[in-house]
C-alpha cells in the first residue's frame, strides 16, 4: 500500500485525531508493523504501526517507542488514552482489527487483479507455495508470506500487492465462527481452492457440518473452486449454490483424472486433462504431498499453464518446513516428522507414508495426543496401528493411558506422560529406535522436533548447517548500518551466487524475500532459473549472463547485467520476438578498474546515445565493482574507482530512462557507507563473515557451521606417526580421533600437520598427519572427555570461518563454495 492510498482511506474515516505528516511522497510504499521490537532505526521508509491488543501484549503500550523509532502513521483504539504523537497521522477507531482488515480490503480493490483464495483444514500453505511455483513461469505472482492466514496475517498478505503483480494467491484459516466472512470481505477472491477437510480446529464449531459451512463462505464471490474429488460434501454444497467446481481424482467424472505409481525416486503420475495426456514425476512419494501437488496442478491447468510446463516444474517441488519432514539417519533409516497438522485424517496419512518408505526396515512411531479426543477414539488409534506396519510404538499424553493393547500382540507399546519423559528415555537409551523407520507425530505446542537430534544421532553425519535466524539478524544489522550512514533511501541487493555460496540458495532467497529484500543477485542464468523453479518471485539480477541464455532469461523473468554493446542488440531482438509488451529491465556494468567485465568510461558517451535507441530495454541500475575495498593500503585506488564511476553515471543519465546506482560490495558498505548509491550489495556478509574490520557496535552472528563427529579414538604410542607417510610422530603417547571428513568434502589438505584445528567440547584439537580424501585425524589427548559419536565443529562458533580460511591460506568464499555435494545441507530457524 502507498502513502497516498492510506491518506485517501483516512479522509473517509470519522475517527481521525490528526493528520500532520505531509512530508512523505504519495507514491511511497507504506510498510506496516505490529511489534515495536521489529522496527529498525532508521526506518526503511514511511511506516504504519497498528496497535493490536492481544492475549499477552497491548500494542498501545508501545506507541511512544514506535514514534521514537520514526513511525508517523498510527491505527489505534478510541478506547485508549494516547501518549503525545506529534507530527503523525493518527486514526482512532472502535475496532482496530476490523479497520485494519477494511484498509487492506480497500487496497485489494484498488489493485483490481485476479485473486485465488485458498482454505482447508491443512495443506493451505503447501498448495499456495507449490501453485505459485507452477504459475511463476508465466505470471508475476504475489502470495501470502509463509503461513500468514490469520485475521491479522491475511491483510498483511494483501498489503504488499504491487502494480507489477498479475495474480495473487492468498490463504485463509479460521478457528471461530464469523472469521471466514471477514476474510472473504478482505480478500474478495475471484477463484477458490479447497485443500482438505479434517477435524483440525473443530473445537470452536458445532461439528463438521458447521465448520464446512464456515469455510465455504470464502468462495461466495468465486467463479470456480478447485478441490480433490474426494471432498464430495463440499462439492455438492457449492454446486447447489450454482458454483462451478473443478476436481481431480481417479474417477472419470473428475476434471483432471489421475493415476499414480510409487517409484524409487518418488511417484510417477499419469494425468488426463481436456483430452490431453501427460506423465509427471514427483520427487517424493508421500500421500499428503501427492494430494497437495495434484490440487496445485489442477489450478495451474485451469489457469492455462501447459501440462508439459507443469511436468517440468513439478519435479522441483519440495516438502515445506513444518510439514512432513523426511530425515535420513547415518545408518540409512528414515525419520518422518509431522508436527503441523494434528488430526485423525493427518495421522492416517502419515502412517500410510511410513508404510510406503523405501527399504525393509521395521516401523516405529512416537504419537502425541489429538485435540478433542473422546474415550471411544482410543480404539480408533488401535485400528489405525493394526492397519499399519508399526511394530514399536511410544505414546505421549494422559489421553492414551487407558489403551488396551492386548489384542495387538504384534506391537510393543510404551506410554509416557510428557515429552520430557521421552527426552529422558532417549538420553538413556538412544538406540531404542536403531534400525527402525520412525514416524514422529504430535501437537506443535509440544515441540516433538526436540526428538530429532537424539534419534538422528546427527554427530555421525558431516553437514553444513545454515542458521536462518542468524542470517535474518545480519540482514537487519546491515540494513540499519547502511541506512544510518548512507541514507534512508539505500536498499540492499542480496548476492546469493553459487546457491548461496554453497549453502542453500532457495532457502536463503525465501528468507530474504520474506524480510523485504527487493533484488537477489546470482552469477549466471542457470542459477536464476533454479530460484524460479523453487517458486521464488522476487526480482533476480543475473550478473554474468551468456548471450546464448538470453531467451531462457526472458522466459523466467530474469534481469541481465549487460557489459558489451552487442549484448543490447541481441537482447532487444529476443525481447521483440517474445510476447513481452513492456521494456525489459536491464542493468549496465561499468569497468572502473577491476578489468574483468564492463563498459569502460570511454564507451559511456556512445552508450548514452544507444540507450535512447533501445526502447525495448529499460535500464534499472548502473553499477560497478570495487577491487580492493577491504584493503586500507589501497584506499586511493578505491577512491579513484568511485570517482570514475560517479563521472560515468553522470554521462549516462538520460531523462527517458532514470536508473539507480550501486558500487559498494560487503567490504565497501562497511568502510565507505557514505559512498552508497541507491543500493549496496552484500553476500557473504549475510553469513556473519567479517570481510574487513567492522565497528564494535555492529553485531554480526555466525550463520554457517561445518560439523562432523568422531568415528573412533586410538592410542598412538610414542615415536609413531599417523596416516600417510607415518608423519607427525610424537615423543609421547597420544589419543588420536578419526573424523569422517576429508578433502573430498571440502576440508582443505593445507590444514595437515597441525596447521588446522577442530573444536570438540569447546576445546581445540590440532590436525595430525595428512588430511586424507575421506578422513582427518586430530589429537584429543588434551580433551579426555572426547568419545566416539561426539560432535566436532570444523568451523562455526568456536573456530570462525575466517580463521579456518586463513589457516588454509585462502578466503571464506572459497571455503564455503568448495564444500562438496556429499556433505548434507541443513537449515534451522526462521
Residues that are catalytic: 497, 724
- The CA distance from 100 to 155, in Å, is 7
Long-range CB contacts for residues 540-545, cutoff 8 Å, separation at least 24: 541/493, 541/587, 541/621, 543/495, 543/497, 543/589, 544/597
> What is the spatial order of strands in the sheet that 89-93 belongs to?
16-18, 89-93, 73-77, 47-50, 31-33
DSSP annotation string for 457-513 = TGGGS-EEEEEHHHHHHHHHHHHHHHHHHH-TT-EEEEE-HHHHHHS-HHHHHHHHH
617-623 vs 824-828, strand pairing mode: unpaired
Say how far residue 598 (Cα) sits from the centre of its chain: 33
The rounded distance, in Å, linking the Cα atoms of 191 and 182 is: 17
390 Cβ contact list (under 8 Å, min separation 6): 351, 354, 363, 364, 365, 411, 439
The DSSP annotation for 188-251 comes to --SEEEE----STTGGGSSSHHHHHHHHHGGGTT-SEEEEETT-HHHHHHHHHTT-EEEEEESS
Q: How far apart are CA 398 and CA 369, in angstroms?
A: 8
CA gyration radius for the chain?
A: 29
Residue entry with cell 586511493: 636
107 neighbors 30 (Cβ within 8 angstroms): no
Determine the 3-state secondary structure of 142 from DSSP: strand
DSSP string, 672-684: -GGG--SEEEESG
DSSP 137: T
CB neighbour class for 191 (10 Å; exposed up to 12, middle 13-18, buried from 19): buried
3-state secondary structure of 124: helix
Q: Given CA atoms 50, 55, 57, 63 in this order, what sign does their dihedral have?
A: positive
Q: Among residues 573, 578, 603, 575, which one has the least CA distance to residue 588?
A: 603
Q: Residue for cell digits 499414480?
A: 260
Of 74, 109, 91, the C-alpha closest to 188 is 109
Helix (H) or strand (E) holding 709: strand 704-709
Between CA 520 and CA 497 the distance in angstroms is 9
Within 613-652, residue ranges assigned H as helices are 635-652
3-state secondary structure of 286: coil
**Residues across the chain:** 830
How many whole angstroms separate alpha carbon 219 and alpha carbon 188?
Answer: 9
- The secondary structure of 233-283, three-state, reads HHHHHHHHCCCEEEEEECCCCCCEEEEEEEECCEEEEEEEECCEEEEEEEC
828 - beta bridge partners? 467
Burial of residue 608 (number of CB atoms within 10 Å: 0-12, 13-18, 19+): middle
Q: What angle is formed at CA 711 by the lines to CA 424 and CA 394, rounded to 5 degrees?
A: 25
The Cα 144–Cα 142 span in angstroms is 7
Give the whole-angstrom CA distance, residue 244 versus residue 238. Answer: 8
Amino acid at each position: 500500500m502507498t502513502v497516498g492510498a492510506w491518506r485517501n482511506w483516512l479522509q473517509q474515516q470519522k475517527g481521525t485525531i490528526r493528520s500532520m505528516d505531509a512530508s512523505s511522497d504519495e507514491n511511497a510504499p507504506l510498510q506496516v508493523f505490529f511489534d515495536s521490537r521489529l522496527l529498525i532505526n532508521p526506518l526503511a521508509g514511511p511506516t504504519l504501526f497498528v496497535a493490536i491488543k492481544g492475549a499477552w501484549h497491548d500494542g498501545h503500550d508501545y506507541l511512544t517507542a514506535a514514534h521514537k523509532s520514526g513511525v508517523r502513521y498510527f491505527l489505534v483504539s478510541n478506547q485508549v488514552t494516547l501518549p503525545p504523537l506529534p507530527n503523525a497521522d493518527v486514526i482512532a477507531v472502535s475496532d482496530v482489527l476490523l479497520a485494519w482488515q477494511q484498509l487492506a480490503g480497500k487496497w485489494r480493490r484498488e489493485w483490481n487483479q485476479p485473486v485465488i483464495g485458498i482454505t482447508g483444514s491443512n495443506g493451505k500453505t503447501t498448495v499456495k507455495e507449490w501453485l505459485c511455483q507452477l504459475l511463476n513461469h508465466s505470471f508475476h505472482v504475489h502470495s501470502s508470506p509463509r503461513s500468514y492466514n490469520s485475521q491479522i496475517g491475511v491483510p498483511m498478505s494483501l498489503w504488499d500487492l504491487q502494480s507489477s503483480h498479475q495474480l495473487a494467491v492468498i490463504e485463509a484459516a479460521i478457528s471461530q465462527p464469523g472469521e471466514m466472512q471477514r476474510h472473504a470481505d478482505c480478500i474478495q477472491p475471484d477463484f477458490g481452492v479447497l485443500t482438505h477437510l479434517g477435524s483440525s480446529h473443530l473445537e470452536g464449531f458445532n461439528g463438521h457440518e458447521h465448520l464446512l459451512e464456515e469455510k465455504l463462505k470464502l468462495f461466495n464471490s468465486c467463479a470456480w473452486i478447485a478441490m480433490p474429488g474426494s471432498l464430495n460434501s463440499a462439492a455438492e454444497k457449492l454446486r447447489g449454490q450454482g458454483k462451478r467446481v473443478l476436481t481431480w481424482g481417479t474417477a472419470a467424472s473428475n476434471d483432471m483424472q489421475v493415476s499414480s505409481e510409487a517409484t524409487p525416486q518418488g511417484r510417477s503420475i499419469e494425468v488426463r486433462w481436456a483430452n490431453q495426456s501427460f506423465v509427471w514425476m514427483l520427487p517424493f512419494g508421500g500421500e499428503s504431498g501427492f494430494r497437495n501437488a495434484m490440487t496445485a496442478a489442477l489450478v495451474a491447468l485451469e489457469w492455462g499453464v501447459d501440462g508439459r510446463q507443469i511436468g517440468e516444474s513439478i519435479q522441483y517441488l519440495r516438502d515445506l518446513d513444518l510439514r512432513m519432514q523426511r530425515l535420513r539417519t547415518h545408518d540409512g533409516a528414515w525419520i518422518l516428522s509431522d508436527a503441523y497438522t494434528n488430526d485423525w485424517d493427518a495421522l492416517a496419512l502419515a502412517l500410510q507414508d511410513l508404510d510406503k518408505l523405501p527399504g525393509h526396515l521395521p516401523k516405529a512411531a512416537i504419537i502425541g495426543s489429538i485435540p478433542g479426543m473422546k474415550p471411544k477414539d482410543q480404539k480408533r488409534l488401535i485400528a489405525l496401528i493394526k492397519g499399519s506396519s508399526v511394530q514399536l510404538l511410544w505414546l505421549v499424553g494422559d489421553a492414551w493411558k487407558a489403551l488396551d493393547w492386548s489384542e495387538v500382540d504384534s506391537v510393543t507399546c510404551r506410554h509416557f506422560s510428557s515429552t520430557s519423559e521421552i527426552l529422558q528415555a532417549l538420553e538413556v537409551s538412544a538406540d531404542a529406535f536403531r534400525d527402525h523407520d520412525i514416524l514422529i507425530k504430535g501437537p506443535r505446542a509440544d515441540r516433538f522436533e526436540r526428538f530429532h537430534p537424539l534419534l538422528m544421532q546427527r554427530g555421525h553425519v558431516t553437514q553444513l548447517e545454515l542458521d536462518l535466524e542468524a542470517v535474518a539478524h545480519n540482514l537487519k544489522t546491515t540494513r540499519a548500518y547502511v541506512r544510518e550512514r548512507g541514507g534512508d533511501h539505500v536498499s540492499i541487493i542480496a548476492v546469493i551466487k553459487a546457491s548461496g555460496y554453497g549453502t542453500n540458495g532457495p532457502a536463503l532467497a525465501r528468507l530474504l524475500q520474506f524480510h523485504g529484500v527487493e533484488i537477489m543477485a546470482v552469477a549466471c542464468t542457470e542459477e536464476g532459473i533454479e530460484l524460479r523453479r523453487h517458486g521464488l518471485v522476487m526480482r533476480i539480477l543475473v550478473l554474468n549472463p551468456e548471450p546464448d541464455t538470453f531467451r531462457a532469461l526472458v522466459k523466467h523473468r530474469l534481469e541481465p547485467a549487460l557489459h558489451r554493446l552487442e549484448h543490447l542488440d541481441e537482447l532487444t531482438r529476443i525481447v521483440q520476438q517474445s510476447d513481452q509488451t513492456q521494456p525489459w529491465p536491464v542493468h549496465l556494468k561499468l569497468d572502473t578498474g577491476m578489468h574483468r567485465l564492463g563498459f569502460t568510461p570511454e564507451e559511456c558517451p556512445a552508450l548514452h546515445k544507444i540507450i535512447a535507441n533501445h526502447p525495448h530495454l529499460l535500464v534499472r541500475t548502473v553499477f560497478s565493482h570495487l577491487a580492493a575495498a577491504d584493503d586500507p593500503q589501497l584506499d586511493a585506488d578505491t577512491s579513484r574507482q568511485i570517482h570514475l564511476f560517479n563521472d560515468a553515471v553522470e554521462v549516462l543519465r538520460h531523462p527517458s530512462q532514470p536508473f539507480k546506482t550501486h558500487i559498494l560490495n560487503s567490504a565497501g558498505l562497511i568502510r565507505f557507507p557514505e559512498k552508497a548509491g541507491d543500493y549496496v550489495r552484500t553476500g557473504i556478509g549475510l553469513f556473519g563473515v567479517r570481510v574487513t574490520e567492522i565497528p564494535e557496535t555492529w553485531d554480526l552472528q555466525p550463520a554457517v557451521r561445518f560439523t562432523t563427529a568422531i568415528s573412533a579414538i586410538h592410542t598412538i604410542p610414542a615415536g609413531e606417526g599417523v596416516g600417510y607417510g607415518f608423519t607427525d610422530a610424537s615423543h609421547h603417547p597420544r589419543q588420536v580421533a578419526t573424523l569422517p571428513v576429508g578433502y573430498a568434502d571440502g576440508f582443505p589438505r593445507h590444514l595437515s600437520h597441525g596447521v588446522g584445528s577442530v573444536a570438540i567440547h569447546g576445546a581445540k584439537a590440532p590436525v595430525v598427519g595428512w588430511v586424507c580424501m575421506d578422513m582427518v585425524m586430530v589429537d584429543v589427548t588434551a580433551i579426555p572427555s572426547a568419545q566416539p559419536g561426539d560432535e566436532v565443529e570444523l568451523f562455526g562458533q568456536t573456530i570462525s570461518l575466517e580463521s579456518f580460511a586463513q589457516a588454509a591460506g585462502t578466503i571464506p568464499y572459497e571455503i564455503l563454495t568448495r564444500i562438496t555435494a556429499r556433505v548434507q545441507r541443513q537449515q534451522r530457524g526462521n
